[in-house]
Structure 1
Amino acid sequence: MVAEIGKARCLDSIAESLLCASEWTHGALRRRQLEPVAQPEQLGREAADESRNTTAGRQAFFSGRCDALITDAGALASVRATMADNPDDYVIFPATPYMDALTPAVRHGDDQWLDIVTWSIQAMIAAEAFGLTSGNIDDYLDSDDPRIRRFLGTDPGNGAALGLSDDFAYRIVKSVGNYAEVYDRNVGMDSPLKLERGYNALFSDGGLMFPLAFQ
């Protein structure tokens, strides 16, 4: 993350910059994050003293003692939303080729709960792919599309396989919305974090989200 006033959008634009990294990135993960952006021929120096402590590193960045703050995008968005006097004055852009997947975790061996969590997430992704939202899903309850009928539980079977009611996917979407609605409301453009969808977009929109079939 850098100050918007500098108009930086890529690694080359912050050549010779002084970097601050959050404390949790120390060690192997820290090296993995910093090495692609801290080679001498690319850019340069890590503000070691400032970034040994997470709070101190962030304060150093916002006070101008380092030029760029490096950590994962979600953390940067949170820092921008909560610590910047004017969040619009700062821009976040990718600094490394690495991606780290964030996903729910459940207790090993609890297969039924794992299935429920997995298919609850899939329900939101599939709903977005189908064009179903919390606002319009009731309009599809009498759909003739067999895929939507199975998804909504109009044609039974999917819920029972999970130990749930057949309309579990309908109830999820009706309550919290599809994946796009949940993303935008919590971390996307309708939230203080304002993270773009990026790889979290549907595959049809250039992202990595691909729904499994409800059948």
Structure 2
Amino acid sequence: MHAVDTRGEILDVAARLYADLGYSAVSMRDLAGEVGVTQANLYHHFRSKDDLIRETLAHVFAQKTAPMVELLEGAGTSSQRLTAFVNWFVRLLVEDRVFFRLLVRELVDGDGARLKALADSVLERPFRLVSSLADPQRSENQRFLTAVSIISLMLGHVQLAALLPYLSGGRPEHADPSIIARHVTVVLQRAFHNVAGEK
């Protein structure tokens, strides 16, 4: 196995274990055993557990956000790009358990230095592109908050999906990514239309 393959395999296994068990529950020894390498080999690739966690997050988030950038920079109107982004991002949240759990874990438990590194290295550009979907006549602050609302709406729906069948009026299909995406798109398009109508 080549060193590059070993490093990639370590990152993939670490992502799965961290997503399922959390950072503190996975020791370097556990990870080495799962990958089939020695602890010395892990430390050859990563200086410390903190270094491994940071690089694992960057690896997963960079892989997953690359298609997002392509969608948001693609052809079409802002409305078409918003619809494509919502469909893609909701499906990613629902279908990629590792990405979703790592994202939620970082939002809940991530330390400031790790969140800053992740924002600087991976998330700044996609976030800026989501922000660009908002009305260019709005202030930078309003566009920023609109991007937060767009992402929060999707993330909130997916986070609550397991609870919805137990609430009055909730149905299992409310967790279906196509239903979530369609609903979120309609809500956002109405909001954008109302904002445009206010001017």
TM-score interval for Structure 1 and Structure 2 normalised by the shorter chain: under 0.3
In terms of fraction of residues, the more helix-rich structure is 2
| TM-score scaled by length of structure 1 | 0.26
Relative contact order higher in (CA < 8 Å, ≥ 6 apart): 2
| TM-score scaled by length of structure 2 | 0.27
In terms of fraction of residues, the more strand-rich structure is 1
